[in-house]
Amino acid sequence: MKTQTTYYQEQKSYRIEVNNSYPELMRLKKEDDSASFNALLLKIIPQVEKYINGRLNTAIKKGNFSKGKYKADEFIDQLFIEVYNNIEEVKKQDDFYLWLFKKTNELLEDIIVEEEFDEFFFKNIDDYTKPEWDAMEENFSTDGGGDYVMIEDLEDRSYNHNDYTLNHVFIEDDEKKLTEKIDKDLSEEQIKNHIELVLHNLPLPMRSVFELSTQWHFELEEIAKIQNIAIEEVKELLKSAKKALQVSLFNRYVTN
């Protein structure tokens, strides 16, 4: 499994690659060369497709729509049109990567209706017993239709895998001992699965902010722009998501 440092470096390199493509894309747009424009855009789009797949997969599991109703390729096609028609909105090269994700987010928000917040789960997150957590995880391992997701299905492009770790949840020095205990007792897979389970049950804004921060390494100011919310709200959402994860890990694996 890739280390977080390696993953961060890859994301940073990808951001640079995307931003570096901006001058050439602008030149091709001015020359009205849509074929070459799309060919270049195609080279930098795979990571954006991964982001789209992750959002669609979550929406399916939340019951927003059935599996197969939407495919990432449909959004990619529309994104190509949006980028070609509106790339002049980008005022400088270093803003292109952020703008690309913002456009992608807008397309997704048009079809993914924010689901009803599971207030019961959030209110009782510090009261669940280990057997209850285990039962929830077993239920979570099924797809949107209630069928178990087999290993071969998980390799399909329509599913997205985020390598969540304890470093995404515990960041303070006084949490080091707790982190070491959980890390010693659990496998990487157990940690990742638990974090995904909890995130799945958190409100969409909270989940989105956490993912953009930990998996895509956007700064708080950038997340605020992508989500069209105030930076203070981003801070509060990220803090709440991490708190929910900390409490759930402590109650499931430390106190039981």
Q: Model-level pTM? A: 0.76
Say if 208 falls within a structural domain. yes
Same domain assignment for residues 174 and 212: yes
pLDDT of residue 215: 85
Same domain, 14 and 133: no
Last residue of a domain, one of 109, 128, 162: 109
Dist. CA 158–CA 64, nearest whole Å: 16
Residue at a domain's end among 79, 109, 139: 109
Q: What is the mean pLDDT of each run of 10 residues along the chain (256 residues)?
A: 69 93 97 96 91 85 75 90 96 96 90 61 75 78 46 39 60 60 75 85 89 91 95 95 85 71
Closest CA to 122 of 229, 7, 248: 248
Regarding whether 36 and 71 lie in a shared domain, the answer is yes
Number of domains in the chain: 2
The C-alpha atoms of residue 245 and residue 7 are separated, in whole angstroms, by 22
**So what's the pLDDT on residue 199?**
87
Structural domain for 197, as ranges: 119-253
Q: Tell me what pLDDT residue 6 has.
A: 76
> Is residue 8 located within the same domain as residue 82?
yes
Domain boundary among 46, 78, 109: 109
Residue 114 lies in a domain: no
